[in-house]
Amino acid sequence: MLRQRVITAVLLLAVLLPAMAARSLWPLALIGAAIVGAGGWEWARLNGSRQPVLAGLLLVLLGAVLARVGLGWQAAHFTASAPLPVAPAALWWCLSGAWVLGLVRVLGGGVARWPAWPQGLRLLLGAPMLWAAGLALLTARAQGLAFLVSLLALVWVADIAAYFGGRRFGRRKLAPTISPGKSWEGVWSGALGVALLATAWIAADRLLGAAGPSYYTVLLERHGPLVLALALALLTALSVSGDLFESLVKRSAGVKDSSGLLPGHGGVLDRIDALLPVLPVALALVA
C-alpha cells in the first residue's frame, strides 16, 4: 500500500508541478478541469446518482471550468503575468458565507441528517462547490506561483501537522461519529504548523522575494498581523471542516474512499476535500 501510494504521488506531482510552473495557464486549467470533472463524478456516485445524471454532471463541471478559461481570458496568448479579469470580491465573499453556513449546518446535523436532504439538492451542491474551487485555483495562480504554492501548502501542512500531533497527543475526539481518528489536539497541532509555515514564508519573502509574494505576505501587507493570525486560524478550521464534510458524505454512503481513481490514495475528493472551502475563502480575505 505504501509503495503504491508513493508511486501515485510521484506521478501526480510529475504532472501537476510543470503545469503550475508553466507561463500559460492552459496546462493548469486542463488539469483543473480534469480534477473538477472527476470530483463531480465521485460526488454523484456518493449521492446515489444514476448513470445519465452522473454523466451530465461531469460534462457540466468540465464545461464550466473550460468555458471560464476560454471565454473569460484570452487563452491563446494568456500568461500568468498578464492582467487577469479578477472576479468580484462579492463573489468570493458569497461563496465564503455559503461554505461557512453550509458546513455548520451539515456537520451539526451529523451523518444521519445528510441522506434526509433531497437527492437533487445534494447533487446540485457539487457543481458550484467544485467549480468555485477550480476558479479559485486558477485565479490564485494568476497572482503568482509563490502565491498559489503557499496557499496549497497551508492545507498540506495543516493536514500533516494535525496527523502527527493527533497521533502523539490526541486525547479528546473532535467528531467521533464522523471521523473517529481526529482529535482537538490534532487541530491545535495543525494550527501551530500553519502559523510556523506562514512565519517562515514571510521571512523568506523579505530575504529573497524573487519568486513573488506569498499568500501570507499579501495578507499581512493588506490587513496587518492581527488579521493575518485570525485568517490563518479560520483557514485551518476550514481545512479540517472540509475533510470532515467529505468524511460525513462517505460515511453516509457507506464507503471508505470517494473512489479508486488514485491507487493508494482513494479518490480525487479524498485529496482535495480540505481545499474546497479553503480556496474561495482565502481569496475573499485578500479580494
| Residue position matching grid coordinates 498578464 | 82
> Nearest Cα to 33, choosing from 124, 126, 134?
134
Q: Which domain holds residue 261?
A: 90-286
Does residue 198 form part of some domain? yes
Return the pLDDT at 84: 43
Does residue 255 form part of some domain? yes
Backbone torsions φ then ψ of 36, nearest 5 degrees: -65, -45
Residue 105 in grid coordinates: 449546518
Does residue 60 form part of some domain? no
Return the pLDDT at 91: 86
Residues 6+ apart with CB under 8 A from 234: 281, 285
Q: How many Å apart are CA 79 and CA 25, to the nearest integer? A: 6
Q: How many Å apart are CA 195 and CA 228, to the nearest integer? A: 10
For 45, the enclosing helix (H) or strand (E) is helix 26-46
Does residue 250 form part of some domain? yes
Does residue 95 form part of some domain? yes
Does residue 140 form part of some domain? yes
DSSP assignment of 111-160: HHHGGGS-HHHHHHHHHHHHHHHHHHHHHHHHT-HHHHHHHHHHHHHHHH
> Nearest Cα to 284, choosing from 244, 240, 238, 226?
238
Does residue 257 form part of some domain? yes
Residue 80 in grid coordinates: 500568468
Q: How many Å apart are CA 46 and CA 169, to the nearest integer? A: 33
The β-bridge partners of 179 are 175
Q: How many Å apart are CA 211 and CA 84, to the nearest integer? A: 19
Residues 6+ apart with CB under 8 A from 224: none
126: number of Cβ within 10 Å:
24
What pTM was computed for the model? Answer: 0.88
Return the pLDDT at 66: 57
Return the pLDDT at 86: 54
What is the number of structural domains in the chain?
A: 1
pLDDT (tens, 9 = 90+) of the chain, 287 residues, equals 657 777 787 888 888 888 888 888 888 888 888 888 888 888 888 888 776 566 656 666 666 665 555 445 434 333 434 444 456 788 899 999 999 999 999 999 999 899 999 988 888 888 888 888 888 898 898 888 999 999 999 999 999 999 999 888 888 999 889 988 899 999 999 999 999 999 999 999 998 866 788 999 999 999 999 999 999 999 999 999 999 999 999 999 999 988 888 887 789 999 999 999 999 999 999 98
Q: How many Å apart are CA 158 and CA 52, to the nearest integer? A: 38
Does residue 27 form part of some domain? no
